């Protein structure tokens, strides 16, 4: 195995060369870090992943919604993002070094009590405790806020922010959901859309973006229903690769494949419904093509948790370029969000339980699409003696079938065009290529992960057959032209294995 930084360069070079992603964007003006453009293949791949994600949620009885990406300040005040998402920072007046004010104070004065202090209070603490720059011992400036939300203005002067997560915009619809779901809980919705975070210095390319596509599934549920979740039965014996916090605290990172039911008995999960959400998130990632041995589900340590989280687990994917990458968070948000919005909006966001108003809890599955997108390319990359290729599962491959006339002769081009149309009609993303030698064309498709290539040759004209070439084995079978579209559909959707054809 190559060193990881080499591998990262290999992946990025391939992605640029073949049109998966380019950046940082806008490239011709030098670029801003944290922004990338998706090229044609990257966009196809992303669409595939999103389609896959969407169908997983829909099957699990989630309804999709879409909300604005900009909201007035009041929303973010209510959600806690204006306080919790803003870091107090202080800058050295001598060398310009920027610090998290609270962290730096605690570093130099571990006894200091900082909970709930305002920016002014923090500035006073810095003076009182004689906290100084860790790098040059210089004098520190006053504490200022560094807001990870992108600020904008509505109309002339209304303060507004780009959403740093889609979840909050979903919660604001809760009253509407109650009507839509005819006052029945639990109810589940999800959203796929852009979110924005003004990271101080984003690095690691596609893995830390300032603008990204977030997927968030929300289950609104009453406390009393969380322990008795009807759909739990169907998954109780499934196994999950778990890394609970007790194990991490003991200094180990050993993942144990654990039955969902056992994880509850052992106390890793407290609630059936939450366990089901973790299982759902895991199965979404499996369907995106990540293999079992490249995934783990890691519990957050208490100090890692976000301001809203009661419990939190992450799905992490093992990459060759960045090691374990955090790809998805499953959060038990309790009723933090709805309570806050109820208070700030003065709207009733509760339901009646035994004639008393109860604010429901929220279980959330949240992830960005760009991370799995990058990880999918990373995990698919294979370099052997003969070729460089991407072993995408056929269902997520950006292009599923390529069609080649053996040569660019009119007598072959014409039937090849027809066959191309037939396969497109079957709903598969298909690419027509007549340029260069046949071998070169196979290699080009290998490098972008196209699972099947169809070649039209002189035998096609005589016997109405074509060859189907399998990316993984490089083997070919000859099939009847009339059977082709159905066969390809079965191959792409995994109903037929290519191996079974060659016998």
Partner RNA sequence: GCGGCCAUGGUCUAGUUUGGUUAGGAUGGAAGCUUCCCAAGCUUCUCGCCCGGGUUCAAAUCCCGGUGGCCGCACCA
| Residues engaged in binding RNA (CB under 7 A) | 5, 9, 12-13, 16-17, 24, 30-34, 84-85, 87, 91, 95-100, 103, 135, 148, 164-165, 197, 199-205, 208, 304, 306-307, 386-388, 406-408, 435-440, 442-444, 446-447, 455, 457-458, 467, 469, 474-476
Distance CA 397, CA 372 (A): 13
Q: Which is nearer to RNA, 43 or 175 (CB)?
A: 43
Q: Which is nearer to RNA, 87 or 264 (CB)?
A: 87
- Quickly list DSSP for 401-453: EEEEESSS-HHHHHHHHHHHHHHHHTT--EEE--SS-HHHHHHHHHHHT--EE
Which strands make up the sheet holding 323-334, listed edge to edge? 63-65, 187-196, 211-221, 361-368, 323-334, 311-319, 295-299, 239-243, 256-259
Q: Which is nearer to RNA, 263 or 328 (CB)?
A: 328
CB of 136 to RNA, least distance (A): 8
CB of 125 to RNA, least distance (A): 16
Closest of 172, 147, 169, 194 to residue 368, by C-alpha: 194
CB of 144 to RNA, least distance (A): 12
Q: Which is nearer to RNA, 260 or 338 (CB)?
A: 338
Q: What is the DSSP letter of 231?
A: G
Q: Which is nearer to RNA, 272 or 467 (CB)?
A: 467
Q: Which is nearer to RNA, 262 or 318 (CB)?
A: 318
CB of 214 to RNA, least distance (A): 8
Distance CA 365, CA 112 (A): 36
CB of 130 to RNA, least distance (A): 19
Distance CA 449, CA 394 (A): 8
Q: Which is nearer to RNA, 267 or 439 (CB)?
A: 439
CA–CA distances in Å: residue 43 to residues 20, 40, 55, 396, 397: 7, 5, 18, 12, 11
CB of 93 to RNA, least distance (A): 12
Yes or no: say if 349 and 361 are a contact pair by the CB < 8 Å rule.
no
CB of 98 to RNA, least distance (A): 4
110 Cβ contact partners less than 8 Å away, ≥ 6 residues apart: none
CA–CA distances in Å: residue 94 to residues 104, 105, 133, 136, 142: 16, 18, 9, 8, 13
Residue spans of alpha helices (H) in 223-271: 223-226, 245-249, 260-265
- Number of other residues whose CB lies within 10 A of the CB of residue 88: 22
Q: Which is nearer to RNA, 285 or 442 (CB)?
A: 442
CB of 475 to RNA, least distance (A): 6
Q: How far is CA 126 from the centre of its chain?
A: 39
Q: Which is nearer to RNA, 339 or 476 (CB)?
A: 476
CB of 436 to RNA, least distance (A): 6
The enclosing H or E element of 154 equals strand 151-154
């Amino acid at each position: 195995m190559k060193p990881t930084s080499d591998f990262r360069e290999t992946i990025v070079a391939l992605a640029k060369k073949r049109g998966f992603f380019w950046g940082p964007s806008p490239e011709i003006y030098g670029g801003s870090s944290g922004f990338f453009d998706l090229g044609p293949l990257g966009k196809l791949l992303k669409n595939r992943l999103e389609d896959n994600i969407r169908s997983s949620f829909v099957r699990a009885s989630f309804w999709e919604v879409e909300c604005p990406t900009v909201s007035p300040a009041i929303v973010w005040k209510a959600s806690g993002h204006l306080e919790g998402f803003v870091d107090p920072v202080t800058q050295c007046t001598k060398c310009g070094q920027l610090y998290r004010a609270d962290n730096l104070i605690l570093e130099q004065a571990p006894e200091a009590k900082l909970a709930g202090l305002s920016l002014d209070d923090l500035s006073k603490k810095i003076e009182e405790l004689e906290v100084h720059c860790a790098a040059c011992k210089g004098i520190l400036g006053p504490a200022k806020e560094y807001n990870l939300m992108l600020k904008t203005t509505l109309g002339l002067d209304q303060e507004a922010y780009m959403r740093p997560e889609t979840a909050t915009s979903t919660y604001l619809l809760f009253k509407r959901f109650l009507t839509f779901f005819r006052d029945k809980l639990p109810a589940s919705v999800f959203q796929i859309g852009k979110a924005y975070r003004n990271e101080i210095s984003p690095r690691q390319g596609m893995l830390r973006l300032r603008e990204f596509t977030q997927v968030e599934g929300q289950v609104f549920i009453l406390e009393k229903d969380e322990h008795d979740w009807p759909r739990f039965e169907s998954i109780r014996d499934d196994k999950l690769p778990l890394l609970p916090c007790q194990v991490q605290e003991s200094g180990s990172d050993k993942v144990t494949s654990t039955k969902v039911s056992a994880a509850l008995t052992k106390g890793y999960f407290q609630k059936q419904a939450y366990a089901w959400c973790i299982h759902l998130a895991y199965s979404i990632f499996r369907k995106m093509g990540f293999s079992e041995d490249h995934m783990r589900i890691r519990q957050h340590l208490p100090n890692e948790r976000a301001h809203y989280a009661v419990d939190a687990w992450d799905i992490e994917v093992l990459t060759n370029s960045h090691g374990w990458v955090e790809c998805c968070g499953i959060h038990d948000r309790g009723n933090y969000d709805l309570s806050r919005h109820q208070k700030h909006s003065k709207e009733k966001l509760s339901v009646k339980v035994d004639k008393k108003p109860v604010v429901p809890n929220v279980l959330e599955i949240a992830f960005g699409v760009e991370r799995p997108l990058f990880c999918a390319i990373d995990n698919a990359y294979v370099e052997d003696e003969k070729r460089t290729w991407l072993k995408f599962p056929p269902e997520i491959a950006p292009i599923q079938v390529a069609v080649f006339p053996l040569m660019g002769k009119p007598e072959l081009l014409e039937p090849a065009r027809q066959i191309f149309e037939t396969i497109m009609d079957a709903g598969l993303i298909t690419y027509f290529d007549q340029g260069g030698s046949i071998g070169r064309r196979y290699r080009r498709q290998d490098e972008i992960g196209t699972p099947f290539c169809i070649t039209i040759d002189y035998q096609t004209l005589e016997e109405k057959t074509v060859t189907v070439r399998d990316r993984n084995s490089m083997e070919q079978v000859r099939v009847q032209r009339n059977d082709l579209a159905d066969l390809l559909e079965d191959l792409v959707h995994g109903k037929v294995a290519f191996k079974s054809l060659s016998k």
